[in-house]
Amino acid sequence: MPITAGWRRKQYYWTDFCAGVTTTYLLDPQFIYWEPQDTTLKVLQNESIRFLVRMRDNQVDTLSYLWTLTDSIIARDTSVTIQFDELGEFTVRCRVSDDEYVSVITWHILVCEFFIAEYFPENNLLQVRRNTSVPFSIDSVAYIDDGRGRPAYRWTLIDRLDDNRRAEAGQDSAADIMFERKGRYAVEGLAYLGDSRDSVTWEVEVRGIIRAYWPRCEVVSIRPGETMLFGVAPFVPEDRRPRLSYRWQVDQVDIMDEDSSEVRLVFPDTGRFEVGVFAVDSMQVDSVNWELTETDSQKWIVNVAVPDWIVHSKFQIPNSKFDIVPNPFNSLAEARFELEQSGDVKLQMFDIGGRLVAKLANDEFETGRHSITIDGARRPAGIYLLRLQTNKRTFVRKVVLMR
């Protein structure tokens, strides 16, 4: 098998000409394990830490090790134990070389006499729902026992949207904080002993029932007759979602009894419309049967406009006409249209949510005037859309059914 080998900086490669494959190997010595795993550490004054590395070298060369503390050489082995006698910031660095290439790993050490070692939640960026209580705690504090006693604690809730207004939230090692309003907050946990102190901060985003919504843009533009999907995703656990209900509105008027997180709407006319949804979460508490109701909402502005190329053209096609008589109507109406050329015609009826409720015609019609009866006797009152499709264009008319 013909194989060639070559050298590049920091790479070794060979090519199998029969298979047409080139495989590249890194030349640098590779770190496969190191200790401590965290390369940013806080340690107490006079504490000793063991540092260790394990390497892999693809060329099987002899490796040399060089350990430095800040800028001073302290060891030339695979491991080293360092005692930190002074307070301050230090850098521990291990350089591993095969006489041609060098790999480096660095630890940043802060030597203190007091620091927070463990806390909860471990994630400092949180997203929670409104009216949620979150437990915070400082689980472990490292300090030198010099007779000063035990650490004290102070918790502070900071409102990021209210000029960082601060409110005390507790004076124990743990605090349960209730987030009642939507917004952005910070929770600061402070531990102190004499003049020594350390703190940890969590950034908390508090949301309502609605976690996400679409369209993501709250101002949208569409053409007349187009259908658009609106929807929301709740910020609640799966077992709570059956208790959610929704109310959809157009221009602050309820458009339907729709217990769904999504709705499709058709906008037949030009203009500016406001689409809103209210999400309600009701839950039963204990056996007293109190009804606790939380409401959240989302609104969109919908601009329905005819494109310029339609506005500046002959919008009325001379061989097609379409109208609904009477409009509004009580139970019966007629869809009247005129064709100057025979062809296929499809007439459909939709509710305001864009759902097809009736197929009134789907056939070939001759030249001339035609009339199709619309029977609304068994349909609920409301606004409906009639869409007429001919060979040359599509018409959409709004019709109101009254009781």
E strand or H helix that includes residue 310: helix 308-311
Alpha helices by DSSP H, listed for 85-232, are none
Q: Is the pLDDT of residue 181 over 70?
A: yes
Which of the four pLDDT bands, split at 50, 70 and 90, describes residue 289?
A: very low
Specify burial of residue 26 (Cβ count, 10 A radius: 0-12, 13-18, 19+): middle
Nearest by Cα to 298 from 236, 230, 355: 230
Taken as a whole, the chain contains a residue count of 403
Average pLDDT, the chain: 81
What does the DSSP 8-state code read for residue 329?
A: B
Within 8 A by CB and 6+ apart from 106, the residues are 39, 91, 92, 93, 94
Residue-wise pLDDT for 293-350, tens only, equals 456 677 777 777 655 433 443 333 333 478 889 988 988 999 998 888 889 999 988 8
Q: Is the pLDDT of residue 176 over 50?
A: yes
What does the DSSP 8-state code read for residue 383?
A: E
Nearest by Cα to 317 from 378, 250, 390, 377: 390
> Got the DSSP string for 56-104?
E-TT----EEEEEETTEEEE-SSEEEEEE-S-EEEEEEEEEE-SS-EEE
Cα separation, 94 vs 146, in Å, equals: 34
Q: Is the pLDDT of residue 25 over 70?
A: no
Please give the pLDDT value at position 236.
62
- Percentage, residues of the chain above pLDDT 90: 36
Residue-wise pLDDT for 86-126, tens only, equals 999 999 999 999 888 899 999 999 998 899 999 999 999 99
pTM summary value: 0.51
Please give the pLDDT value at position 311.
40
Please give the pLDDT value at position 208.
78
Mean pLDDT of 58-70: 88
Please give the pLDDT value at position 217.
81
Cα separation, 231 vs 212, in Å, equals: 9
Within 8 A by CB and 6+ apart from 253, the residues are none
Q: Is the pLDDT of residue 257 over 70?
A: no
Please give the pLDDT value at position 295.
65
Domains of the chain are 30-112 (2.60.40.10), 115-207 (2.60.40.10), 210-304 (2.60.40), 318-401 (2.60.40.2550)
> Got the DSSP string for 237-292?
-GGGGGGEEEEEEETTEE-----SSEEEEEE-S-EEEEEEEEEEEEEEETTTTEEE
Q: Is the pLDDT of residue 138 over 80?
A: yes
Strands 125-129 and 196-207, sheet pairing: parallel
Within 8 A by CB and 6+ apart from 329, the residues are 374, 376, 399, 400, 401, 402
Task: Determine which of 31-40, 173-182, 183-192, 300-309 has the lowest per-residue pLDDT on average.
Answer: 300-309
Neighbour order of strands in the sheet with 210-214: 210-214, 226-234, 262-267
- Phi and psi at 386, nearest 5°, equal -105, 125
Which of the four pLDDT bands, split at 50, 70 and 90, describes residue 284?
A: very low
Residue-wise pLDDT for 210-245, tens only, equals 777 888 888 888 877 788 888 888 776 555 555 678
Beta bridge partners of 284: 291
Per-residue burial over 163-177, b if 16 or more Cβ lie within 10 Å, else e, is eeeeeebbeebebeb
Higher pLDDT, 356 or 107: 107
Please give the pLDDT value at position 258.
59
Nearest by Cα to 113 from 139, 155, 141, 94: 141
Please give the pLDDT value at position 18.
47
Cα separation, 26 vs 10, in Å, equals: 6
The two tokens of residue 153 are 């604690």
Cα separation, 78 vs 55, in Å, equals: 9
